Structure formats: structure tokens, C-alpha cells
Amino acid sequence: MLQTYEAIYSDNQFRWINQAPPKVDKEVRVVLVMDVEKNTAKQKKNLHEVLQRAWGCLGRGKSLDEIDQEINEMRKEWGRGWD
């Protein structure tokens, strides 16, 4: 007769979810069924968490005046030699 017991297998040990199977003095055959999809599925990340982790990765933000100044300098460089 087959009996079913549920456990979580981690670090080469079983942690029984409900009741543990009774101890026996002889060998018993065990069949392991793994829920592979559940184990390999990537967890969806929270957008807020992703943004918090990425915060500051591009360096310090620039003011509009700094951006305008850089654009004007680039325009001056582009105009050299083209006249």
C-alpha cells in the first residue's frame, strides 16, 4: 500500500509539512516528486524596489542650466571649420 507524506527537501534534509512517516526497521522505497516550475520560476520584482536599487546609478543629476551650457558648447564645436 502506498502512503503519501509531504516534506520540503533542503540542504539534504527533509522538513515534514504535516505528519512525519512512521519509523520502520526495514528498507522502504521512496519516490520523490518535485514541483520544478515552482522552484525555477523567477519572482516578479516590484517596480518600486527596482527603481530604489537603480537610484543614483547614473551619477548626479544636472540642472537645466548645466544641460543648456553643454549643448551650447557642443554647438560651438560643431560650427568650427564648417563656415
In the structure grid, which three cell numbers stand for residue 60, read together? 548626479
Query: Which pLDDT value is given to residue 68?
Result: 92
Query: Which pLDDT value is given to residue 8?
Result: 84
State yes or no: pLDDT of 41 exceeds 60. Answer: no
State yes or no: pLDDT of 22 exceeds 80. Answer: yes
Query: Which pLDDT value is given to residue 35?
Result: 74
Of residues 45 and 80, the one with the higher pLDDT is 45
Which amino acid is residue 68, in one-letter code?
A: D
CA distance 35 to 28: 22
4-27 per-residue burial string, b: 16 or more CB within 10 A, e: under 16: eeeeeeeeeeeeeeeeeeeeeeee
